[in-house]
Amino acid sequence: MTIADRIAAFRAALDEWLRGLYHGMITHPAYEKIEKEAEDAEDEFMLACFPDAFGIPSPISYYTAELLPYLEDEFEAWERRLWDRETLIERKGQQYHF
């Protein structure tokens, strides 16, 4: 192995290590926050459309029921996720490290 090959291998290893460091320190936490915010926005939309799923009476349920065929898969996953989730205060507290 020549010195040029060793330098190229070292640079490739260093590049891979730096990319992993950048992903672990900066990119990954940002993705986590974006995913949580998107999930919260989806939860708010679904709760506004289908509040009667959780016993909250709503006069617009008749109109939002028309959306149910389009949101069937999302609705089942959303309902399961909300029933399995810890309390809302605990979830929001995780965002602020309480």
d(C-alpha 44, C-alpha 50), whole Å? 10
- In sequence order, the 6+-apart residues with CB closer than 8 A to the CB of 57 are 51
Q: What's the half-sphere exposure (Cβ side, CA atoms, 13 Å) at 6?
A: 3
pLDDT of residue 11: 94
pLDDT of residue 10: 94
pLDDT of residue 87: 65
pLDDT of residue 49: 86
d(C-alpha 80, C-alpha 38), whole Å? 17
- Below-70 pLDDT ranges, the chain: 85-89, 91-92, 95, 97-98
Q: Is residue 20 exposed (0-12), middle (13-18) or buried (19+ Cβ within 10 Å)?
A: exposed
pLDDT of residue 5: 92
pTM (predicted TM-score)? 0.57
